[in-house]
């Protein structure tokens, strides 16, 4: 039963403000993912929660206890490191049992708990091996085993999958999700990989330059990004962004130089005729084929196909229309040939509008 609460947390290294004003309230048993580009302060936040880094400003509490000055071992948190940080001279069993040994648990209890964790993670037959004799995926599991044996209140993961190859990464991602469902422990997970964030998280925290940009469920941050950065960072390929001019001539609309699209959602009321805006359209909001038959003709246009990449069930198209280049994601069997003309429709109810100066969303 552990909630984690960050109140106005900041971190400075000398004069360098690395994390600033982070407020976050993590519910018991929640799976929270901190995501952001490399260097944005994700690890620093995690390490402050773990107690490995002093907290410069604000307050962190775990289960309603302020832990700012509690040493790591008394916070009842366990952490899985990016490069696993296994003890090379200890066997798998000793690695996993080390925290219990340090807490002076009896040998029998330690053995039983290590055995149980090894069963959950499929490590039973490797218990006597040294880490050097294990594959990357197995080491990863040992690192997780070391975290789960002592049933901590909070799990902390710092990019635990980034040293694995793509296939193993996907597999471990699924196992991690299942493990969380089984163990029901509050989990804070750091990654720069937005796919990991989307697939694992109950809620995503998007960070940039040490500041929280948005907190929300994966669907919320995907469909309603609060600013241009989140729209670009979450989702792959990133959102297409066009500079445009707003007008209300016969209903609200935006003019993207040659292409005029009606505005059907959002707080466009705050906008005046002639205001500059940024228009964001997700690649998967660009439709082709019979999907567009039902669309308002004003949502449709004809484009040139520059490039088509088939990636399995989906294809990525590079398209141009009226001198604007953008990406669309369509079903594989609808893939056109480069050089062809193509009729596309935009799902304008999913269009984003951003302020060109602040880059804040005008629709969210």
Which residues of this protein are in contact with ligand ADP, per CB under 6 A?
Answer: 13, 16, 18, 36, 38-44
* 54 lies in the site for another protein, by CB under 8 A: no
Are 134 and 86 spatial neighbours (Cβ–Cβ below 8 Å)?
Answer: no
* 99 lies in the site for another protein, by CB under 8 A: yes
* 330 lies in the site for another protein, by CB under 8 A: no
* 52 lies in the site for another protein, by CB under 8 A: yes
**Nearest-approach distance from CB 40 to ligand ADP, in angstroms:** 4
* 83 lies in the site for another protein, by CB under 8 A: yes
Question: In the block, which residue shows the tokens 């000398």?
Answer: 14
What are the strands of the beta sheet with 31-35, ordered from one edge?
77-80, 154-158, 186-191, 31-35, 203-208, 211-216
**Nearest-approach distance from CB 102 to another protein, in angstroms:** 4
Q: Is 70 exposed, middle or buried (0-12, 13-18, 19+ CB in 10 A)?
A: middle
DSSP 238: P
Which residue number, 43 or 187, has a Cβ lying nearer to Mg ion?
43
Question: In the block, which residue shows the tokens 């567009």?
Answer: 292
Nearest to 320 by CA among 306, 337, 308: 306
Are 188 and 202 spatial neighbours (Cβ–Cβ below 8 Å)?
Answer: no
Strand partners, 154: 77, 186
Which residue number, 41 or 252, has a Cβ lying nearer to Mg ion?
41
| CA dist list (Å): 160 to 83, 84, 187, 198 | 7, 7, 13, 16
The total of other beta-carbon atoms located within 10 Å of residue 126's CB is: 21
**Nearest-approach distance from CB 75 to another protein, in angstroms:** 8
Please give the structure tokens belonging to residue 150: 């002592």
One residue of 48, 77, 264, 281 binding another protein per CB under 8 A: 77
Among positions 20-49, residues that touch Mg ion (CB under 5 A) are 43
Among positions 129-158, residues that touch another protein (CB under 8 A) are 146
Q: How many residues bind another protein (CB under 8 A)?
A: 27
**Nearest-approach distance from CB 19 to ligand ADP, in angstroms:** 7
Binding site partner of 41, from ligand ADP, Mg ion, another protein, none, Cβ cut-off 5-8 A by kind: ligand ADP
Binding site partner of 146, from another protein, ligand ADP, Mg ion, none, Cβ cut-off 5-8 A by kind: another protein
One residue of 16, 38, 88, 249 binding another protein per CB under 8 A: 88
Helix (H) or strand (E) holding 176: helix 166-183
**Nearest-approach distance from CB 308 to another protein, in angstroms:** 44
d(CA 102, CA 151): 15
d(CA 217, CA 225): 11
* 87 lies in the site for another protein, by CB under 8 A: yes
One residue of 70, 85, 168, 334 binding another protein per CB under 8 A: 85
Cα 67 to the chain's mean position, in Å?
26
Which residue number, 48 or 305, has a Cβ lying nearer to Mg ion?
48
Q: Phi, psi at residue 229, to the nearest 5°?
A: -60, -50
* 102 lies in the site for another protein, by CB under 8 A: yes
Q: Applying CB under 8 A, which residues contact another protein?
A: 50-52, 71-73, 77-79, 81-83, 85-90, 98-99, 101-104, 106-107, 146
């Amino acid at each position: 039963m552990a909630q984690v609460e960050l109140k106005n947390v900041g971190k400075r290294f000398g004069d360098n403000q690395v994390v600033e004003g982070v407020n976050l309230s993590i519910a018991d048993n929640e799976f929270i993912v901190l995501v952001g580009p490399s260097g944005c302060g994700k690890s620093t936040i995690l390490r402050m929660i773990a107690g490995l880094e002093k907290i410069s400003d604000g307050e962190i509490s775990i289960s309603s206890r302020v832990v700012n000055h509690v040493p790591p071992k008394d916070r009842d948190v366990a952490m899985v490191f990016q490069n696993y940080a296994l003890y090379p001279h200890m066997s798998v069993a000793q690695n996993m049992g080390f925290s219990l040994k340090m807490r002076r648990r009896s040998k029998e209890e330690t053995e039983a708990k290590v055995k149980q964790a090894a069963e959950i993670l499929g490590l039973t037959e490797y218990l006597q091996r040294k880490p050097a004799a294990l594959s990357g995926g197995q080491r990863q599991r040992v690192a997780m085993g070391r975290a789960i044996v002592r049933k901590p209140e909070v799990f902390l993961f710092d990019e635990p999958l980034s040293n694995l190859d793509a296939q193993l990464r996907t597999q471990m991602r699924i196992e991690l999700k299942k493990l969380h469902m089984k163990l029901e422990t509050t989990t804070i997970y750091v990654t720069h990989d937005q796919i990991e964030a989307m697939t694992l998280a109950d809620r995503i925290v998007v960070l940039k330059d040490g500041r929280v940009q948005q907190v929300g469920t994966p669907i919320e941050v995907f469909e309603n990004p609060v600013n241009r950065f989140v729209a670009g960072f979450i989702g792959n390929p990133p959102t297409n962004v066009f500079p445009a001019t707003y007008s209300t001539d016969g209903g609200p609309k935006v003019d993207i130089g040659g292409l005029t699209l009606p505005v059907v959602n959002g707080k466009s009321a705050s906008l005046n005729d002639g205001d500059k805006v940024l228009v964001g359209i997700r690649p998967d909001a660009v439709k082709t084929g019979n999907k567009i038959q039902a669309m308002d003709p004003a949502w449709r246009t004809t484009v040139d196909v520059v490039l088509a990449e088939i990636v399995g069930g989906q294809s990525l198209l590079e398209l141009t229309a009226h001198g604007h280049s953008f990406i669309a994601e369509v079903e594989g069997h609808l893939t056109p040939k480069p050089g062809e003309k193509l009729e596309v429709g935009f799902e304008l109810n999913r269009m984003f509008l951003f302020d060109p100066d602040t880059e804040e969303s005008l629709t969210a």
